[in-house]
Amino acid sequence: MERLASTAKTVHGATRGTGAGAARSVAIIGGGWAGLAAAVDATEAGHQVTLFEAARSLGGRARSLPLTLPDGTTTPLDNGQHILIGAYRQTLGLMSKVGVDPRTVLRGEPLDLRDLDGRGLRLPAWPSPLDAAWGIARAQGWSWGDKRALIAATLGWQRAGFRCASSATVADLCRRMPAPVVQGLIEPLCISALNTPPERASGQVFLRVLRDSLFGEGWGRWGASWLLLPTAPLGELLPEPAGRWLRSRGAVLRLGHRVALLAETASGWQVDGDAFDAVILACPSWDAIRLLQDNAVAAPAWLLQAHGIRHESIATVYATSLRRLPRPMVALPSGPGEPAQFVFDRGQLGGPTGLLAFVASASEGERDLLERQVMAQADALGWVEAQALQTVVERRATFACTPGLDRPGPQVAERLWACGDWVAGPYPATLEGAVMSGRHAAAALGRVRV
């Protein structure tokens, strides 16, 4: 860790001293889950934090928005169906730190990827890896040959330390796997976790997700592979409580402030004219590129890697229906013209009765076309009375998690760091990846333990 200038200087109430342990004034640009994680850790370590967020609310790409129901009332829903799992220990720990009991805002259930007819994988509430072994053995719609092939592949991946060639795709890993297993498990798991189709998705990242979810440590009574489905708007899971926690401890939150000027000085950085010891870019990759290029910040190698990030979209079609799902989340058969891979019964997750959310990850096409395709898909599955209410398309919801992707690291320049689910790390674009990245950026300031 580089040393600060030895001459003490007061900036925004923080005294600059020497060494990595000195308190610093820190600007965090971006109020998504990565920025909030960095802000909480930095504030707890005694740094003076100012957080800039272009939107008027915190949460970034995992945020709440209002939905108008047929009776004219509105209800807060999310810009997408974000799912956590029990292995997200850092995210769940951060929620607890800012005063949120995860058990009150998340519905925890053992992994269940079954379709409407009950076919597919469902794990029991047993310790790992016994839950996976039993779930595979009892899976409906698979022959014993299918199950043996999946168990053999899983054991092979385990013997290899859940590692593969960096150039391998998920499809490469599963070329000898029976079609029912690929269609009923690998494809939905890959698309939901990596938001990238198996033929383009990184095999190595997929194996890391499998390792941590099937053989990792969970949180509390929740196993690592358990699905944690939000029963409250995303804003109540972390963004709003984190904002209150930060304000109560002296952090400054500048909402509705889109940063334009980022300039290096002899003793630190300026953000829109205000001086700071250090800066953390917690914004999306394209916004970080804008700030660096518009202000001629010297980081050519980092910018080259950032420019290599490509994005995938996620579409969520909210619809009304008289049909209640057998479970809060059901896997759907998808393919050409049938883009939705999952449907959620929001009425079973704290929302209005009869509200469904159809999710199409790695979606393509315009919003109106996607909506028509999803509703036709629903009609073919028996939801003949379903009516679309609103379709939300996040064009750059996640980065494309492809083989050999060279993601930029956290160090951008001296006393300038970046964090986000797209910064180099072990996970795809997940809430856990964002929180982990934010915490590591804060740790680079000094006085923070991760």
Range in 28-42, 302-316, 434-448 the model is least confident about? 434-448
pLDDT at 450: 57
Give residue-wise pLDDT tens across range 417-449.
999 999 999 999 999 999 999 999 999 998 555
pTM: 0.91
pLDDT at position 272 over 70 = yes
- Same-domain pairing of 120 and 221: yes
- Same-domain pairing of 192 and 243: no
pLDDT at position 20 over 60 = no
Number of domains in the chain: 2
pLDDT at 76: 78
- Same-domain pairing of 301 and 245: yes
Give residue-wise pLDDT tens across range 215-237.
889 999 999 999 999 999 888 99
Domain ends where: 225, 255, 282? 225
- Same-domain pairing of 262 and 305: yes
Range 287-306 average pLDDT? 96
Residue 366 maps to a domain: no
Angle at 275 between CA 273 and CA 276, to 5 degrees: 135
pLDDT at 21: 52
Position of tokens 């799912």?
A: 83
pLDDT at position 82 over 50 = yes
- Same-domain pairing of 265 and 170: no
Domain ends where: 225, 247, 276? 225
- Same-domain pairing of 213 and 241: no
Secondary structure (3-state) at 268: coil
pLDDT at 73: 82
Domain ends where: 161, 194, 225? 225
The secondary structure of 232-253, three-state, reads CCHHHHCHHHHHHHHHHCCCEE
Closest CA to 172 of 143, 207, 212, 217: 207
pLDDT at position 8 over 50 = no
Interacting residues of 31 by C-beta distance below 8 A, sequence separation 6+ = 51, 52, 53, 55, 58, 59, 60, 239, 243, 253, 255, 282
- Same-domain pairing of 194 and 241: no
Residue 32 pLDDT class (50, 70, 90 cuts): very high
Range 51-63 average pLDDT? 90
Closest CA to 423 of 409, 402, 439: 409
- Same-domain pairing of 247 and 186: no
Write out the two tokens for 36. Answer: 């909030």
- Same-domain pairing of 149 and 262: no
User: CB-based burial of residue 184 (10 Å sphere; 0-12 exposed, 13-18 middle, 19+ buried)?
Assistant: buried
Cα-flanking dihedrals φ and ψ of residue 63, to 5°? Answer: -135, 170
Closest CA to 416 of 303, 251, 286, 257: 303
Instruction: Classify residue 324 by its DSSP letter.
Output: P
Range 391-396 average pLDDT? 90
What is the phi-psi region of residue 404: left when phi exceeds 0, alpha when psi lies from -120 to 50, beta otherwise?
left
CA–CA distance from 142 to each of 118, 120, 182, 347 (Å)?
Answer: 12, 8, 11, 31
- Same-domain pairing of 41 and 128: no
- Same-domain pairing of 284 and 412: yes
- Same-domain pairing of 115 and 219: yes
Amino acid letter for position 192: S
pLDDT at 2: 31
Residue 101 maps to a domain: no
Give residue-wise pLDDT tens across range 142-192.
999 999 999 999 999 999 999 999 999 999 999 999 999 998 889 988 988
pLDDT at position 5 over 60 = no
Q: Percentage of residues in the chain with pLDDT exceeding 70?
A: 94
pLDDT at position 271 over 80 = yes
Within 254-326, where are the H helices?
Answer: 285-294, 300-307
pLDDT at position 298 over 70 = yes
Range(s) of the domain holding residue 280: 9-60+235-309+406-443
Position of tokens 């930029």?
A: 408
User: Rounded to whole angstroms, how far apart are CA atoms 407 and 296?
Assistant: 21
Range 309-337 average pLDDT? 92
Q: Report the CATH number at residue 29.
A: 3.50.50.60
pLDDT at 71: 77
Residue 46 pLDDT class (50, 70, 90 cuts): very high
pLDDT at 40: 98
pLDDT at position 62 over 80 = no
Residue 399 maps to a domain: no
Mean pLDDT in the chain? 90
Residue 199 maps to a domain: yes
Of the two residues 387 and 61, the one the predictor is more confident about is: 387
Residue 252 pLDDT class (50, 70, 90 cuts): very high
